[in-house]
Amino acid sequence: MIEFQALADKYDTPLYLYDFNHLAQQYTRLKEAFRARKSLICYAVKANSNLSVIKHFANLGAGCDCVSIGEVKRALYAGVPNYKIIFSGVGKRDEEIKEALEKDILLINVESEAELNRVEIQAAELNKQARISIRVNPNIDPQTHPYISTGLHENKFGVDLDTAKRLYIFAKNSDFLDPVGIHFHIGSQLTQLEPIKEASAIVADLVRSLQTLDIDIKFFDVGGGLGIRYDDETLIEPYDYAQAILSTLTGLDVTIMCEPGRFLTANSGYFLTRVLYEKTNGDKRFVIVDGGMNDLIRPSLYNAYHKIEIIGKAEDEETSECDVVGPVCESGDFFAKNIRLPLTRHNDLLVIHSAGAYCATMSSNYNTRGRVAEVAVEDGKDRLIRRRESFEDMIALEKDYLKD
């Protein structure tokens, strides 16, 4: 039981809370599911990049999947060893590639022929061999939201199978490239096993055909994307997920890597916000809260559903339809539309669930609202893991450039 009211009183609102015991539980469930093989779980840092969250996973043995050099540096700073860090993403600057090579991370995950050429040039300049994996786009429909589908040719990610093969041959013949991994990631919030299994089978066949060319793939990276329950979704069990993947790898001696983000963090997180007041426009009822789309943008961005709980109201209280909206000057600033809530009063506390992934990391200073504080709850104790941003923080990068 998390003491939402007490924590809201102690740290003020809006506020992010993360249940660190739940984070560990999710990690362990997944790690256990793969125990029949060598595996490395690389936490997708973009889901929640708070240093204390990363460190928590690092302590459990996790690696990290990063999509910018900034994330690579965060992972290193939080104590993730360089040999457990991979660097993905469809666009990497030369400087980012160079720094990743200098830091000698496990793998650079290459997403195009042009990128492979840039990696080779950077590696040659450093007179190093770059360990790479190539992201294959298996052209599988993951049956999820189109904004978070990534494994179709119409998406910008990865290369098709024929291109992948050609790039592996090129890399094999280069003095500066060492093709040791293969990678796919077909989308996010996956709730169906079949597309993952299909993609895995296609990529495993590619690994077998590379073997005949004397290209030895050691790391088989199945990406992230395991779905979580926001509402009433039926979920993939980690065990079934692992079995589906393992069943496609017969005869292959590879380390399995996966890159879960949402699965590890989403349901460990809560966003706490207090009611400012209510208003009605004609028949329409609005509950106006102190958190806004700059703090948690998923409803505005993807029309995402987040369960909203109101603290301290009796079960049988009368409810009516309303929109829960923030103070930001945008009509898109809402957390829920047309939900039923009892009448609220000033300072009533609302808890927005499933707020551990793609929430704090997507927050901004829009409307000159400081980013909110983040608090970890572990073994019944709470601690601050990011302080609330102040006005001074928000003007720090501009104030020295004011002209008379």
Ligand X SMILES: *Cc1c(COP(=O)(O)O)cnc(C)c1O
Residues that bind ligand X in the complex, under the rule CB under 6 A: 44, 46-47, 65, 67, 88, 185, 188, 223-226, 259-263, 357
Task: Tell the smallest beta-carbon distance from residue 260 to ligand X (Å).
Answer: 5
Q: In the complex with ligand X, which residue's Cβ is closer, 44 or 134?
A: 44
Q: C-beta of 351: minimal distance to ligand X in Å?
A: 22
Q: From the CB of residue 307, how many other CB atoms can be counted at a distance below 10 Å?
A: 14
CA angle 229, 259, 190 (to 5 degrees): 35
Is the CB of 131 or the CB of 274 nearer to ligand X?
131
Comparison of 233 and 309: residue with beta carbon closer to ligand X: 233
Indicate the residue among 259 and 295 with the shorter CB distance to ligand X.
259
- Return the SS3 of 386: strand
In whole angstroms, how close is the CB of 214 to ligand X at the nearest point?
28
Q: Quick one: 110 or 328, whose CB is closer to ligand X?
A: 110
Tokens representing residue 43 in the block: 């936490």
Distance from C-alpha of 247 to C-alpha of 243, rounded to nearest angstrom: 6
Judge whether 230 and 305 are in contact, CB under 8 Å: yes
322 is catalytic: no
C-alpha distance from residue 230 to each of 98, 263, 299, 307 (Å)? 39, 11, 12, 7
Q: At what angle do helices 51-59 and 69-77 cross, to 10 degrees?
A: 60
Euclidean distance between CA atoms 191 and 211, whole angstroms: 32
Cα(38)–Cα(86) distance, integer angstroms = 17
What is 85-111 written as a DSSP string?
EEE--S---HHHHHHHHHTT-SEEEE-
Length of the chain: 404
Show Cβ contacts of residue 147 under 8 Å, excluding neighbours closer than 6 positions: 301, 302
- Give me the amino acid identity at 141: D
- Give me 148's structure tokens: 């978070």
**E strands present in 67-210:** 85-87, 107-110, 130-135, 177-183
Q: Of residues 64, 258, 329, 359, which has the active-site annotation?
A: 329
- Number of Cβ within a 10 Å radius of residue 127: 8
Closest CB 228 distance from ligand X, rounded Å: 9
Is 24 or 310 the residue whose CB approaches ligand X more closely? 24
Q: Hey, which residues are catalytic here? A: 329
